[in-house]
């Protein structure tokens, strides 16, 4: 389980592809090291560390993306040099900030607009097709693994907004996103379970 409080960012150092999916090598100077089998959220996608090591600048790890992950997430588009958000799984005795994030991305959506509002930023995203009912004003949402609060929903325009403070923008890859870019979306798992229970 994750919290959506991004620990640090990393860079894609290598990409390999085969018939089964693709493999990413991620480098970062924000985490001391990794361990085999460890879960790491990369842009909100829970991946398993297959191999890892150290560099003069920090640490690296390799993770495999199965075909399902490639088809459902924006990691299919990540190339060498691209920035990614990183969060290790929450330890049992860890402090819980953010909200419950599983690392199970539902879909992707596109950035529509970015506006500076005083010292903060307002990001407008397209409502993810087929998942609109899960996006609620003042509800929680994870975008590229970042725990955010939905500021408003415009059903007529098919968009929703989130407010991003300067610290969040500086410490995540949100500052690298432009209108038209795809981001990973994980919807509030509580809303999905409530809906499921109501069908029985």
Residues serving a catalytic function are: 2, 39, 46, 48, 66, 104, 149
Distance CA 112, CA 138 (A): 20
Residue 64 neighbours by CB distance under 10 Å: 15
Distance CA 113, CA 12 (A): 25
Which candidate, 142, 54, 130, 155, places its Cα nearest to that of 105?
A: 142
Distance CA 105, CA 109 (A): 11
Output the DSSP codes for 88-145: EPPPTTS---S--B-S---EEEEEEEEEEETTEEEEEEEPPTT-GGG--TT-EEEETT
Which residues neighbour 94 within 8 Å (Cβ) at sequence distance 6 or greater? none
- What tokens does 69 get? 């992950």
């Amino acid at each position: 389980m994750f919290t959506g409080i991004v620990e640090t960012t990393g860079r894609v150092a290598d990409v390999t592809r085969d018939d089964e999916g693709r493999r990413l090598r991620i480098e970062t100077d924000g985490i001391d090291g990794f361990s085999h089998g460890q879960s790491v959220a990369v842009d909100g996608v829970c991946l398993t560390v297959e191999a890892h090591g150290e560099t003069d600048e920090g640490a690296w790890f390799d993770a495999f993306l199965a075909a399902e992950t490639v088809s459902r997430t924006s990691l299919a588009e990540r190339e060498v040099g691209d920035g990614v958000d990183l969060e290790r799984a929450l330890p049992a005795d860890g402090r819980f900030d953010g909200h419950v994030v599983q690392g199970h991305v539902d879909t992707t959506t596109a950035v529509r607009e970015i506006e500076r509002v005083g010292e903060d930023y307002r990001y407008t995203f397209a409502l993810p097709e087929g998942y609109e009912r899960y996006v609620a004003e003042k509800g929680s949402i994870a975008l590229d693994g970042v725990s955010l609060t939905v500021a408003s929903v415009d059903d007529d325009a098919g968009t929703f907004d989130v407010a991003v403070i300067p610290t969040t923008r500086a410490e995540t890859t949100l500052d690298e996103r432009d209108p038209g870019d795809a981001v990973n979306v994980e919807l509030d798992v509580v809303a999905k379970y409530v809906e499921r229970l109501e069908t029985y």
